[in-house]
Structure 1
Amino acid sequence: MKTELNITLIARGCAITGDMVVDHGISSFGLLDGGIISTQGLLHIGEGGLVKGSAQGEHVRIDGRVDGDVHARGSLEINGQVSGDIFYCGTIRLGPRASLNGTLKRVC
């Protein structure tokens, strides 16, 4: 059985206005003025990436910045900045550059 890897890439210099919903992984290094939901896989906000809205995913890694709530159903890793409430169910890891402005709640 062949497994297909699907990842959407939002490159630096790209700006998207509106909400995004994907059924696979996504890696964003650009600007997203709206919410983002990844129903499965990795939701990655890369260094220099900015989300002005909520971010929700199975596995979430934030190396950039999110100005909104973050929801992680599985693992959560933060090395960047979050200004909003964080809701997680699995594991959480805060890196040395993590900056949080909001509440941290475990919900399962």
Structure 2
Amino acid sequence: MWSKDKSKTDLQRFSGKTSLIATGAELCGDLRFQGAVQIDGRMNGNVQTGDGMVRVSVEGQVEGEIRAPHIVIDGEVIGDVHASEHLELGARARVRGNLYYGLMEMAMGAQIEGRLCHLKDGQRPLELPESLDLAQ
């Protein structure tokens, strides 16, 4: 969280499987993916992955639920956030919703309007619905 190079390291772990919703773009609908996604634009819908990472940049906005093992928020989220392993809130993060997390880092200045709910070890796995086959 404190190192400026950390964001590159996080996204590089998913090399070849990183998607971007660019500044000025707006996506309406749910997003399910493998790997990592960086949201620099607007997302109106739920974001979900069973094995990857979601990053909401300073300019990014998400209206919907986010579910992923690793989540980094520097922008705005209106909805619940479920990070089964690691949740990082930057100094400019703004969240209106409940946060469910395994481990959490939070910088001074981050704003939360909701509950903080630590997940016990038995609650951490995020399972994708059986109807979702990402291997196709």
Regarding TM over 0.5, the answer is: yes
Partner of 2:118: 106
* Identity rate, percent: 29
* Count of aligned pairs between the two proteins: 105
Q: Normalising by the residue count of structure 2, what TM-score does the alignment of the two structures yield?
A: 0.73
2:99 counterpart of 1:86: yes
SS of 2:51's partner is strand
Q: Which has the higher strand share?
A: 1
Q: Structure 1 residue aligned with 2:78, among 56, 67, 71?
A: 67
Larger radius of gyration: 2
**Can you give the 5+ residue segments of structure 2 that lack an aligned partner in the other structure?**
1-12, 121-136
Partner of 1:31: 42
Deviation for aligned residue 1:103: 0.2
Q: Which has the higher helix share?
A: 2
**Can you give the 5+ residue segments of structure 1 that lack an aligned partner in the other structure?**
none
Amino acid paired to 2:109: R
Cα separation, 2, equivalents of 1:17 and 1:103: 26
Report runs of 4+ in structure 1 exceeding 2 Å deviation.
none
Contact 1:24 1:39 in 2 (8 A): no
Q: Structure 2 residue aligned with 1:47, among 45, 58, 61?
A: 58
Q: Normalising by the residue count of structure 1, what TM-score does the alignment of the two structures yield?
A: 0.92
